[in-house]
Amino acid sequence: MKTHKSKPIIVVGSSNTDMIIKVHRIPKPGETILGGEFSTAPGGKGANQAVAAARAGGDVIFIAKIGNDLFGKQTIQNLKKDKISTKYVSIDPQHPSGVALIFVARDGENSIAVAPGANANLQPQDVILASNALENGGLILMQLEIPLDTIKTAANLAAKNNIPVILNPAPATQLPDDLLQLCSIITPNESETEILTGVKITSEKSIIKAAHKLMDKGPNTVIITLGARGAFVVSKDLTGLIPAFKVKPVDTTAAGDVFNGALAVAIQEGKSLIDALTFANAAAALSVTKLGAQPSAPYRKEIIDFLNTHKNN
């Protein structure tokens, strides 16, 4: 895959403020649980991945839309702290910034509801206004918390300029073939893979079958994330599980986002697929040991130290 090591990673996606309640277990419908601990943290899949990539060592430009409100202003401040370019983070005068309400259980499991707000109004025109950045990027990373037409516009601009696209198809939805044709790497989890391919993931054989169905539609590399088990990769030269690192989970909220952000950095740096996935697995493992989405994204030194510690384990 062609990469441009000196060029920035462009993340096109969502930005939310996460409102988190830590509970001993996720409440059932109609049930009230007392005794939770409340906190807020910056989130949204796009912003999470941008922060994860920046902390993992990437030069990141973020294309997004926020509301003209306190949450939006705080978002800009937080992104700038991580040295992420916010030149193309536009303000929507009509819609509020996105918000996610998150329950986090004692075992690290979570339940999330999202009010997308301005994210749902990130239009193709906003991407076209950022076309200079996209055309000069080294790699584009996207998710599905913004309109599909906007994602397609960015993917088409990338294709015209021979820039690889990593698509994290989350939250899960059906995707048109003309979008999949424009993706270099796709990174679904098990449930997203089933929705995209119709193949029930029950074994290694079914994972490989599903991955080939996706590759037939365009991507040359399929990485199916399997949570605590690791990531299963299928590409022209490599098929197999890259196992996860064993850690005690505190909050799994942004593990997939951290994985994708770190993966983008490793791919951009020209690492082999195995090394890139190992780097991404290490970042994801570190993230689940902390509470919150962006606050849990590890810095490059932490990832390198973790890898060095676990090299012979």
pLDDT tens-digit profile of 35-78? 889 988 899 999 999 999 999 999 999 999 999 999 999 999 99
Main-chain phi, psi angles of 132, to 5 degrees: -60, -45
Domain-embedded: residue 73: yes
DSSP code string of 166-177: EE---S-----H
Mean pLDDT score of the chain, rounded to an integer? Answer: 94
Is the distance from CB of 274 to CB of 252 less than 8 angstroms? Answer: no
Token code pair at residue 21:
């309640």
| pLDDT score, position 108 | 79
Mean pLDDT, residues 116-132 taken together: 97
Angstrom distance (rounded) from CA 106 to CA 170: 24
Neighbours of 216 (CB within 10 A): 11
Question: What 3-state class would DSSP assign to 11?
Answer: strand
Domain-embedded: residue 203: yes
Percent helix, percent strand, percent coil in the chain, to nearest 5? 40, 25, 40
- pTM tops 0.95: no
Domain-embedded: residue 209: yes
| pLDDT score, position 3 | 54
Cis peptide before 8 (omega within 30 of 0): no
Beta bridge partners, 240, equal 233
Range of the domain at 153: 9-15+45-87+118-310
Residue 235 belongs to domain with CATH number? 3.40.1190.20
Domain-embedded: residue 296: yes
Encode pLDDT of 204-263 as tens digits: 999 999 999 999 999 999 999 999 999 999 999 999 999 999 999 888 878 999 999 999
Burial class of residue 205 (count of CB atoms within 10 Å of its CB; 0-12, 13-18, 19+) = exposed
Residues 6+ apart with CB under 8 A from 43: 15, 16, 17, 18, 100, 102, 253, 254, 292, 293, 294
Domain-embedded: residue 129: yes
> Using H for helix, E for strand and C for coil, what is the string for 17-86?
EEEEEECCCCCCCCCCCCCCEEEEEEECHHHHHHHHHHHCCCCEEEEEEEECCHHHHHHHHHHHHCCCEE
Beta bridge partners, 101, equal 19, 113
The better pLDDT of the pair 4, 86 is held by: 86
Would you say residue 1 has pLDDT above 80? Answer: no
Angstrom distance (rounded) from CA 105 to CA 109: 5
Beta bridge partners, 43, equal 16
Task: Say which amino acid occupies 162.
Answer: N
Angstrom distance (rounded) from CA 235 to CA 231: 13
Domain-embedded: residue 98: no
Domain-embedded: residue 37: no
Encode pLDDT of 141-200 as tens digits: 999 999 999 999 999 999 999 999 999 999 989 999 999 999 999 999 999 999 999 999
Angstrom distance (rounded) from CA 47 to CA 77: 12
Token code pair at residue 6:
């000196």
Domain-embedded: residue 100: no
Residues with catalytic function:
257
Structural domain count, the chain: 1
Angstrom distance (rounded) from CA 232 to CA 183: 18
DSSP state of 111: E
The better pLDDT of the pair 100, 263 is held by: 263
